[in-house]
Amino acid sequence: MSYEKAFKNLGMEPLVYAKKFALPIVLFGIVFAVLMYTLLPNLFVGPAKYIPVLVTFACVFFAFSYPLSVLAAKATRIDNNMHYYITQMGSIATAETPRLDIIRIVSENDDYRELATETRKIYDLVTVWHMSLADACRFISKRTPSIIFEDFLDRFAHALQSGEDVKSFLFAEQNVVMNEYESMYNGALYAVEIVKEMFVSLVMSLIFLASFAVIMPVITGMNAELLMSIVVVVFLVTDLVMVMFTRSKVPQDPAWNRSDTLTKDKLRLYRSIPISVGGCIIVGMAVLMYGKIETPIAVAMFLTPLVYTGHVARNIEKGIRRKDENFPAFIRSLGSSAGARGGLIDDALKALRSHDFGPLTTDVNNLYKLLATRIDKFASWDHFSANIGSNLIQRFSVMFVEATNLGGQPDVIGDIIATNFHRIVNLRKKRTQSANSLVGVLYGLTGGIGFTMYISLGVVGLMQDMFATVEMPAGMSIGMVLYTNVGNITTLENMVLGIMIGHSLMSAILIRIVDGGHMLSSTIDFVIMVWISGASAIVTMAAVSSLLGMT
pTM check: above 0.85: yes
> What pLDDT does 414 receive?
94
Q: How confident is the model at residue 127 (pLDDT cuts 50, 70, 90)?
A: very high
265/267 Cα distance (integer angstroms): 5
Which of 59-73, 122-136, 460-474, 534-548 is the most confident on average? 122-136
Q: What angle do CA 210, 212, 216 make, to 5 degrees?
A: 135
> What pLDDT does 46 receive?
61
222/461 Cα distance (integer angstroms): 16
pLDDT surpasses 60 at 476: no
> What pLDDT does 464 receive?
65
Q: Of 525, 514, 522, 526, which Cα lies nearest the Cα of 246?
A: 514
pLDDT surpasses 70 at 483: no
Provide the Cα torsion 370, 375, 380, 382; round to 10°. Answer: -160
165/294 Cα distance (integer angstroms): 74
Domain residue ranges of the chain, discontinuous segments joined by + = 3-79, 82-164, 194-259+268-312+426-547, 319-424
How many of the other CB atoms lie within 10 Å of CB of 437? 14
Rounded to an integer, the average pLDDT of 265-273 is 93
Helix, strand, coil percent values for the chain (each to nearest 5): 80, 0, 20
Question: Which pLDDT tens digit goes with each residue over 182-234?
Answer: 999 999 888 888 888 888 888 888 888 887 777 777 776 677 778 888 888 88
Question: Who contacts 544 (Cβ-Cβ below 8 Å, separation ≥6)?
Answer: 454, 455, 458, 459, 462, 550
Rounded to an integer, the average pLDDT of 263-267 is 91
35/328 Cα distance (integer angstroms): 64
In percent, the amount of the chain with pLDDT more than 90 equals 46
Question: Which pLDDT tens digit goes with each residue over 12-25?
Answer: 888 888 888 889 89
Residue 256 three-state SS: strand
497/203 Cα distance (integer angstroms): 16
In percent, the amount of the chain with pLDDT more than 70 equals 92
> What pLDDT does 108 receive?
92
**Residue 167 φ/ψ, nearest 5 degrees:** -65, -45
Amino acid at 62: F
